[in-house]
């Protein structure tokens, strides 16, 4: 979810649905200009138990191979911010997800025999001066028991600032997902949603997804 949507969503919900576009922006000091913090969720069992040799931000090309991974190519980008809207520079964003066949880069994945050998499965990116990050990956797919999602962790040095998951806006399996149902507040559930839209002028059918991550500066407890 991008910053503008985050402000409107949070303010709209908290005002009982009475927010009308920019009207709430005219209220001085409303919510002290604090952004809604991205809700944490479980890390899950499939954080890679052995990291790939290639851990860059392009999950579609593994090392020097020429064969891309299977799936809908997606450019996932956004910013890491504190609740005051300040960008966090030089923090590391890690993502991991199952491949187009529903298999993780993990020895315990349920269908390892179907794993796409060309999908990196994990990547990391160090944010720039504006807190920005970028990954090239695939649109997440469902697998038995889970709606499509991408796991992420934000780290500052050896501290974890947040561990969570992002989900595909409007996917029909969202309502039955145990992790998403565990996020009780409907406001927080919306803050974990991400739109996957056609990339403008792409001739290859690529997608773009924007997801801003808002963190507190107090590290997670182990």
As its CATH architecture, domain 35-215 has Sandwich (2.60)
pLDDT digits (tens, 9 = 90+) for 22-68: 322 233 344 456 899 999 999 999 999 999 888 999 999 887 777 88
- If one counts every other C-beta atom within 10 angstroms of the C-beta of residue 81, the result is 22
Nearest to 76 by CA among 128, 134, 127, 132: 134
State in Å, rounded, how far the first CA of the chain is from the last one: 27
User: In the predicted model, what is the mean pLDDT of residues 153-165?
Assistant: 96
The model carries a pTM of 0.85
**Residues in CB range of 35: below 8 A, 6 or more apart:** 3, 6, 7, 10, 81, 83, 84, 85, 214
pLDDT at residue 221, as a whole number: 57
User: In the predicted model, what is the mean pLDDT of residues 94-123?
Assistant: 94
- Please report the DSSP string for 123-183 in residue order: EEEE--TT-EEEEEEE----BTTB-SEEEEEEEETTEEEEEEEEEETT-TTGGG-HHHHT-
């Amino acid at each position: 979810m991008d910053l503008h949507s985050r402000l409107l969503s949070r303010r709209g919900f908290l005002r009982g649905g009475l927010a009308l576009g920019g009207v709430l922006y005219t209220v001085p000091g409303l919510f002290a200009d604090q952004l809604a913090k991205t809700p944490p969720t479980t890390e899950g069992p499939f954080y890679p138990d052995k990291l790939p040799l290639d851990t860059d931000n392009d999950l579609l090309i593994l090392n020097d191979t020429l064969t891309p991974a299977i799936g809908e190519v997606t450019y996932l980008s956004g910013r890491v911010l504190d609740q005051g809207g300040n960008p966090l520079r030089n923090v590391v964003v890690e993502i991991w997800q199952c491949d187009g066949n529903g298999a993780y880069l993990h020895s315990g994945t349920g269908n390892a025999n179907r794993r796409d050998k060309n999908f990196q499965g994990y990547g990391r990116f160090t944010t720039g001066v504006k807190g920005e990050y970028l990954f090239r990956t695939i649109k997440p797919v469902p697998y038995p028991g889970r709606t499509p999602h991408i796991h992420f962790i934000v780290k500052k040095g050896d501290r974890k600032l947040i561990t969570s998951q992002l989900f595909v806006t409007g996917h029909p399996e969202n309502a039955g997902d145990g992790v998403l149902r565990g996020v009780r507040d409907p406001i927080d559930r919306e803050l974990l949603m991400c739109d996957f839209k056609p990339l403008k002028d792409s001739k290859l059918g690529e997608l773009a997804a924007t997801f801003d991550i808002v963190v507190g500066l107090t590290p997670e407890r182990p």
